[in-house]
Structure 1
Amino acid sequence: MRIDVYVPLVLALLLTAIAPQVGRRVSPALAARVLTAAAVLTAAASTWALLLLGVTLIDQTPAVIAEAGEEGRALPEPVPEAVAVLAVAALAVITHRLLRVVRTHVATRRFLRRLCEGHPPDSELVVAASPTPHAFAIPGKPGRILVTAAMLGALEPAERRVLLAHERAHLAHRHAALSTAVALAAAANPLLVTVRETVAFLLERWADEEAASAVGDRHTTARALARAALVSQRARPGCALYFSEHAVTRRIAALRTAPPPVARSVGAAVLALGALPALGAADATGDLLRLLGERLPWV
């Protein structure tokens, strides 16, 4: 346990290091999926590892100390007490971060759904009379696309088709679920923040590629993206919109080249990397249970 319990924490650094490279070399759809899965596995394993470290404090409870003293048994000390205390503190911080992410996502979802109230339940497109250019994909049953009149007015007809195809891709492929999953992973393990940012970019790239395929023109898709970013920047200096955020320049450059390869072998390697922390945590769990079973008869 002395080594295995730390494996998930170390491998999180490795996943963070390779995530940008995976995002550049693998198709956005595959890269987003495998990085999200690996991040969730790594975050769960690292959180479990912290829990294991905290559990080692059980040998410091008065009842256990008294019983061990009466029977003349040595108490287990798989990790230093200071490390266990820090693990408990980290778990408290993680709980707070997770709750904050959940509250933010729920509040955002409710706000966007309220904007769609009063529209026919079977209508996919909701146009809001707002002077600020916005475009959102709102997941749910049914999923909705909320676009402001300002955004539609700024785009040419072909570019509007790109915008709608982009937002439909978000809905069709459940990008909101992937985004929430990787956000929770990063909240549980701050080392995965880079992975979260990479997945956010990849989800937009994925939707860009779907839009380009739907309209059959990568140049028009790039032009629509550039125009949406431009009108958003003019309307709100220093703040880009959802459709036009996440490194617009890189997304436009990607649309001017051929789509990246699927590279399933790379995807499998990333998933394997995500599984390693789980294996390390499982091994550490077995070691701790055996140790406590030997030293604490009631376990």
Structure 2
Amino acid sequence: MTWPTFAPTIALTALSLALGWRPLPLHPAWSARLLLVTMVATALAAASTIVFTTAVFVAGFLPVHAVAAGAQGRLLLDHGPLPAHLGAAASALLATGSWAAARLGIRHRRDLRAVRQAPSQVTGQDRPMAIAVPGRDGGVLVSRGLMRLLDREQLRVVFRHERSHLRHRHHIFSALGALSAALFPPLAVTHRSLLLSLERWADEDAVTDTGDRALVARTLARVALADPLPGPGPHPAFTGSHIVHRVQALMGAPPPQNRFVGPALLSGTSVASSGMASSSLQLHHLSALMVL
């Protein structure tokens, strides 16, 4: 294998980290979409590189005549041998990423089942909290503690925020982002930025529905001060993350709508990212290995 075969993964990783380094000057709805597209493309490119590199590395330890007996084996031998440190690193990343992705899926399924089967565990708590549970039998769960803490207008803010998460299917954004970061750990920085964008998106929807930025900021700050801990499981919670940044953003000017810049930037980035991810798959012959 030559270094140019790693170029798509390196380029996409650099793009994802650059986009996730600091909040983008876009409406959070467009920021979230942009971050998710680059994360998924980067994870696909990285996964294809890691899998193929590991396969080439493992093939180097097997008898040549046995590997060369099949078309897949000959394809792997054409790209070897690999330096030991490179093969070992790819093998470690593959094992770690697979284990992390499996754990993430099991935990997400377990937490979602628990909340759906026993919603009273949330609503009956004295801890002030609200979470959005997706699915046909889902909805917004608000605890007894939150009902006591907030007045009617503030509760309206909470429900508008959580319904925004459900309406825009933010749980899918979050799940795909978490899976991408599990498969390729360097994307953890970008995943945190994605979660911030999702919360900011829901905050701005609450502002649109209530017409009062200060009210949304006060509600968020009050709940965060009363209960600084994150919500349970992977479900979007009202005070899930980045409280200080979100309150500061709400106290400032509204974000630009980006009606033209947002779609154009998203389209361009999607085409470029998917093209690089596709080229990575082709460079590593994964489609050929599965067909042969």
TM-score range, shorter chain: 0.7 to 0.9
For 1:250, which of 242, 245, 248 is the aligned residue? 245
SS across alignment from 2:24:
helix
SS across alignment from 2:140:
strand
Q: Which residue of 2 aligns with 1:213?
A: 208
Q: Which residue of 2 aligns with 1:170?
A: 165
The answer to whether the aligner puts 1:99 opposite 2:102 as a matched pair is yes
Quickly say closer, same or farther: Cα 1:52–1:232, change in 2 above 3 A: same
How many Å apart are 1:7 and its aligned residue?
Answer: 2.1
User: Mind listing any 5+ residue stretches in structure 2 that lack a counterpart?
Assistant: 232-236
- Root-mean-square deviation (CA), in Å? 2.7
Distance in 1 (CA, whole Å) between partners of 2:171 and 2:208 is 21
The answer to whether the aligner puts 1:17 opposite 2:18 as a matched pair is yes
One-letter amino acid of the structure 2 residue matched with residue 37 of structure 1: V
Please list, as runs of the form range in 1=range in 2, the aligned pairs for 1:1-299 lying within 5 A after superposition. Answer: 2-10=2-10, 11-21=12-22, 23-57=23-57, 58=59, 60-64=61-65, 76-78=78-80, 80-82=82-84, 83-116=86-119, 128-233=123-228, 239-241=229-231, 242-256=237-251, 257-262=253-258, 263-264=261-262, 265-286=264-285
Distance in 1 (CA, whole Å) between partners of 2:287 and 2:3 is 12
In 1, are the aligned partners of 2:195 and 2:241 still within 8 Å (CA)?
Answer: yes
How many Å apart are 1:107 and its aligned residue?
Answer: 1.4
Quickly say closer, same or farther: Cα 1:81–1:224, change in 2 above 3 A: same
If the length of structure 1 is used for normalisation, what is the TM-score? 0.81
In 2, are the aligned partners of 1:134 and 1:243 still within 8 Å (CA)?
Answer: yes
One-letter amino acid of the structure 2 residue matched with residue 216 of structure 1: G
- Give a deviation string over 1:178-225, Cα, whole Å, max 9, x none: 100000000011110011100111111011011111112212111111
SS across alignment from 2:284:
helix
One-letter amino acid of the structure 1 residue matched with residue 266 of structure 2: G
One-letter amino acid of the structure 2 residue matched with residue 32 of structure 1: A
Distance in 2 (CA, whole Å) between partners of 1:77 and 1:249 is 50
Deviates more, 1:12-21 or 1:272-281: 272-281
How many Å apart are 1:78 and its aligned residue?
Answer: 4.2
User: Mind listing any 5+ residue stretches in structure 1 that lack a counterpart?
Assistant: 118-125, 234-238, 293-298
How many Å apart are 1:175 and its aligned residue?
Answer: 0.6
Distance in 2 (CA, whole Å) between partners of 1:230 and 1:288 is 52
How many Å apart are 1:128 and its aligned residue?
Answer: 1.7
- Give a deviation string over 1:228-249, Cα, whole Å, max 9, x none: 112113xxxxx24431231112
SS across alignment from 2:132:
strand
Identity rate, percent: 29
How many Å apart are 1:80 and its aligned residue?
Answer: 1.8
How many Å apart are 1:27 and its aligned residue?
Answer: 1.0
Quickly say closer, same or farther: Cα 1:210–1:287, change in 2 above 3 A: closer
Quickly say closer, same or farther: Cα 1:84–1:104, change in 2 above 3 A: same
Question: Larger C-alpha radius of gyration, 1 or 2?
Answer: 1
Distance in 2 (CA, whole Å) between partners of 1:96 and 1:127 is 30
Deviates more, 1:245-254 or 1:97-106: 245-254
One-letter amino acid of the structure 2 residue matched with residue 268 of structure 1: S
Distance in 2 (CA, whole Å) between partners of 1:288 and 1:6 is 17
Distance in 2 (CA, whole Å) between partners of 1:127 and 1:92 is 35
Deviates more, 1:213-222 or 1:2-11: 2-11
Distance in 2 (CA, whole Å) between partners of 1:91 and 1:255 is 41
How many Å apart are 1:64 and its aligned residue?
Answer: 2.4
